Each structure stands twice: as structure tokens, then as C-alpha cells.
Amino acid sequence: MNLNTSSLGDVLKSSVGDEVWSYVWPAIGSTLYMLAITTIFTFLLGLGLGIVLVVTDKDGIKPLPIFNAVLGAIVNVLRSFPSMILIILLLPLSRLILHKTYGANACILALVGSCFPMLGRLVESSIHEVAKGKLEAAKAMGTTNWNIVFKVLLPEALPSLVRSFTVTVIAILGTTALAGSFGAGGLGDVAVRFGYNRFRTDVLIPTVFVLVVMVQAIQALGGVIARGIARKRYLV
């Protein structure tokens, strides 16, 4: 059903109907599944990457300029691929590991690969915002590098890290929708197969609506957590 063949009223009516939602409900489940698993791996890899980038920086606590430059270049290369191309490139890797190039799990690998470099850079800049004096104070107290990272830099950067993380989760959601085109399933898949290929505007509307609600919810939650931490520290 679309606006060329039906009235707006009919399209809207159909879009809240049982038939449409019988496609949308399962898609929501599989999008949330992909989002959750991708987020976990992106979080771990992105945080690790960000920490390594900061620590090995030429002004970092363990300067390794050549390593840092090479790592930075690799991150930049990964980030310059359009997500779609990167997903296509990473699918053979999924075949290698999971013996499959379709379905949610196969795409999660590709999604993580396309999202964690961004989080790495965001984590890097969040940590860079921590005042240098705090780092010096920690050093002067005889703090090991490990403790400087985990007891000073990360806790001090926490509100900013939460915001970076929120941005990333939303980017992951956008990329899962894109991955729908490559057999990942989920809302993106429904939107493409029904909404685009079959001109089903009545299916397109609820998928977009659900995505909008998800983005709003993630952003609101991230904002509440970041503000909550800052308020607890009396910084706002």
C-alpha cells in the first residue's frame, strides 16, 4: 500500500494494522539483538583502542610514537570506508569465522568492524579533555600507568565518555538498519524489502517511527546518565 494507490488515511490505518506489525515486531527484536551484541563488542574494542591511542601518544604516559602513528593511520583508513563498503568487505571474515555471511550474527562482526574505530577516536578525545594537571598529580604520587588509566583518566572522563558512547550506540543503530540490506534482518531489512522494494509505505512508516523512538530513547538515557554523574560530582 502506498500513497500512489491509496489515500493517506488508508496508508496510516494499514500501518498500525496487525499485518504490518507482524513484520515489524520480530524485526524490532532482531534489531535490538544486533544492537545489544554489537554495542558490547564495540564498547570493549573502542574503549581499548581509545586508551591505547591516548597512552601511546607522544605526550602520553607510555609514548610509542611509531606504533601510535601506524595505529592512527589504520583507524583513519577504517573510518574512511563508507559503512556499506566496509560491511561488504568484512562479510568474508564472517564466512571464515561463522561459516555464514547472512543473518544477524554474521552482520554483527561487520557492524563491530565499522563502528569501533569511531568509538576509539571519541574515547581518545574524551580522555584528552582531562586536565593535564590531574595526570601530573597522579604521576607525582607514584601512581603506576595502569592505575593512572583506570583510577584517574577514565573516572575523570566518565561524563564525556558516556556522551561519546551514546553517540556511538546511535551510530550502531543506524548501521544495523543499513546492514539490513545485506541479509542481517531487523528493521532496516523490513524497511528495504517491504517499504522500498514493494512500495509498502504502510510498512515503511512504522519502521521509521520505531527507529526514531529508539534514537530518542538512547539519546535521552545517555544524557540522563552523563548529567547524573556530573551532578553527583557537583560539576553542574
Residue among 8 and 235 whose Cβ is closer to other proteins: 235
Cβ atoms of residues 27 and 185 within 8 Å: yes
**Nearest CA among 168, 49, 51, 192 for reference residue 115:** 168
64 in contact with other proteins (CB under 8 A): no
What is the distance between the alpha carbons of residues 146 and 136, in angstroms, rounded to a whole number? 14
Rounded least distance, CB 151 to other proteins, Å: 7
Q: Counting runs of H as helices and runs of E as strands, what totals does the chain give?
A: 10, 0
Rounded least distance, CB 39 to other proteins, Å: 24
Cβ atoms of residues 207 and 187 within 8 Å: yes
Cell of 231: 551532578
Question: Could you say which DSSP state residue 95 is in?
Answer: H
What is the distance between the alpha carbons of residues 190 and 126, in angstroms, rounded to a whole number? 36
What is the distance between the alpha carbons of residues 215 and 211, in angstroms, rounded to a whole number? 6
Rounded least distance, CB 141 to other proteins, Å: 4
Which residues, 118 to 137, sit near other proteins by CB under 8 A?
A: 131, 133-134, 136-137
Which residues, 66 to 125, sit near other proteins by CB under 8 A?
A: none
Cell of 61: 604516559
141 in contact with other proteins (CB under 8 A): yes
Q: Which of 13, 100, 198, 233 binds other proteins (CB under 8 A)?
A: 233
Residue among 152 and 204 whose Cβ is closer to other proteins: 152
Rounded least distance, CB 150 to other proteins, Å: 11
Q: Which of 9, 59, 142, 197 binds other proteins (CB under 8 A)?
A: 142
Rounded least distance, CB 111 to other proteins, Å: 32
Rounded least distance, CB 65 to other proteins, Å: 15
Burial 82-106 (b: 16+ CB within 10 A, else e): ebeebbeebbeebeeeeeebeebeb
Which residues, 163 to 222, sit near other proteins by CB under 8 A?
A: none
Cell of 56: 601511546
Q: Which of 5, 80, 147, 216 binds other proteins (CB under 8 A)?
A: 147
Q: Which of 2, 6, 125, 143 binds other proteins (CB under 8 A)?
A: 143
Q: Which residues bind other proteins (CB under 8 A)?
A: 131, 133-134, 136-144, 147, 151-152, 155-156, 158, 232-235
